[in-house]
Structure 1
Amino acid sequence: MDKYGRPPMSVFTVEDYIQPSAPSISMVSRKSGRGTLLIQAVLLFFSLLALCGAASEIYYLMKVESSIRNLLLNGSATQGMIQGNVPQKMIFRPGFRDGPPLPSAHVTGLVVGDPSSNSPLEWEHTRGLAFLHEVEYNNGSLVCSKSGLYFIYSKLQLGSPKCPKDTKNSVFSHQVLKRSLNSKIPMIESIRRFCDIPGSSTWRGSSFLGGTFMLAKGNEVYVSMSHKNLIRVQGDTMTFFGMFMVSTAFDQ
């Protein structure tokens, strides 16, 4: 026995290690639940924005379609659509039921009577595809009845059963001329060789002229051909001549 009077200890005790307490499951689930709700709310917000944008676009397209339909039904589509980009002098005309809307003419080819003459080419102007609208026909000429800017065109279907051996005689001239008072003014001209291989058996070709010109009231326009024997009429679609007004000479 020691001096303190305390018996020796035969039993040893070890204190247990106390781990720190973890947060409760309810707290974690509550926080994660709030985060999920926030994400869902953001996604729902953007989805609503996208739906609103799509709905407004569909509504706008429906209004545009309705406006176009109304314009077409009222017969004023040319005037009303995109009015800022359309020339103000452009006037809508109701189709071709009562004739072309502006002065115009289209005449078709006829069999040439005298190939050696220098007279203007004669044309069919009453039958088939031919027509005259505010343009007169006079001995092969188209007579302008209203001053303005016109597009004038002429197409000849050509052919030769036998080409000449001398290449000097294998060049033709196709012209569109204007007759004003007593003067003749060439407007468009084409000079070409009609036989590529001298002495060959056959040759086929064509010549087309076209351009825009100012015409005054009373001007006559006609077609001249140096080698009339080359012309092949072949119905209304191969050889023709015509003009149509592009715009009037003065604003009205």
Structure 2
Amino acid sequence: MTQEGVKYPSVYTVDSYRTAPPPLPPRPGRRRPIGATQVLLLLLVTVALCGMVVEAWLIYRLYNPPPAQTTEEMSSAAKMIGNAPAIGPAPTKWARLVEAPSKPVAHLTDGTDVANAKHVMAWSEIADPLLYKVGYKNGSLVFKENGYYYIYSKVSFLADQGWHHSIELKTKYYLGKNSIKLLTSRPSLHSKQSNSFLAGVLHFYKDDAIFVKVSDTSHVARGDPTQNVFGAYMI
């Protein structure tokens, strides 16, 4: 039994697990630098997004084109262009052609402006002649480039007999001759032919000239310009 009057010490509970202070929170460190790979990836993503935006705009314009110009706007624009000063020489006009030929070519016809000599045919310079890299002078076609050419001529005569028709050449490579006969035609004794056609493929040099010669130009039919033609083209 406990004796009365005896004092006992107070009882204390000791926590052996709290002998050390609690740990401090982690100290914030420095941020890691951004590497080259991350920069490259960012650039690629940016480029891809820009491409998507451009593609979306193009698709929108494809399905939603801008409104067409009105007649008044077009006329005002045409007036502005017409009043603008011309720059450089005027473009070459091709009356009969959609585009310029790829090789030299010539085609001539008869016409009201033609004045034939006694034996040499002349050709119209106002009846829409076709001359590309081939000149025309005094009834002759003058070649400006060496090469093989298909040449032809058609002449209509009023008489059935007593005529002849030829294509002749003037060249500096044959001395002592005014011209060289290349192709010729004349009717037979029993022929009723009144049209003569000559054609062939020959080689010509630069500045060579060919012309059409007949027995008498007064016997040539002149009613229709297409009855008498003369031409050549490079092959």
Q: TM-score, normalised by structure 2?
A: 0.51
Alignment CA distance shift 1:159-1:133 (3 Å): same
| 2-structure distance, mates of 1:145, 1:192 | 34
Corresponding position of 2:98:
97
| 2-structure distance, mates of 1:192, 1:204 | 7
| 1-structure distance, mates of 2:189, 2:228 | 16
1:192 aligned onto 2:191: no
Corresponding position of 2:209:
220
- C-alpha contact (below 8 Å) 1:174/1:224 kept by paired residues: yes
Query: What displacement does 1:155 show?
Result: 0.1
1:178 aligned onto 2:169: yes
Q: How does 1:131-142 map to 2 (within 5 A)?
A: 131-142=130-141
Unaligned residue ranges in structure 1 (runs of 5+):
1-95, 164-169, 197-202, 247-252
- C-alpha contact (below 8 Å) 1:146/1:217 kept by paired residues: yes
What per-residue deviation string (whole Å, max 9, x for no partner) do you get for residues 194-228 of structure 1? 885xxxxxx77200000000000000010000022
Q: What is the DSSP-based 3-state SS (H/G/I as helix, E as strand, rest coil) of the residue aligned with 1:155? A: strand
Query: What displacement does 1:98 show?
Result: 2.8
> After TM superposition, which residue ranges in structure 1, 4 or more long, deviate above 4 angstroms?
111-115, 193-196
Q: How does 1:5-84 map to 2 (within 5 A)?
A: none
Identity of aligned residues (%): 26
| 1-structure distance, mates of 2:133, 2:126 | 14
Calculate the aligned-residue CA RMSD, in Å: 2.4
Query: What displacement does 1:127 show?
Result: 2.4
Aligned length: 134
Q: TM-score, normalised by structure 1?
A: 0.48
| 1-structure distance, mates of 2:122, 2:193 | 22
Q: What is the DSSP-based 3-state SS (H/G/I as helix, E as strand, rest coil) of the residue aligned with 1:136? A: strand
Unaligned residue ranges in structure 2 (runs of 5+):
1-96
Corresponding position of 1:121:
121
- C-alpha contact (below 8 Å) 1:159/1:204 kept by paired residues: no
What per-residue deviation string (whole Å, max 9, x for no partner) do you get for residues 24-65 of structure 1? xxxxxxxxxxxxxxxxxxxxxxxxxxxxxxxxxxxxxxxxxx
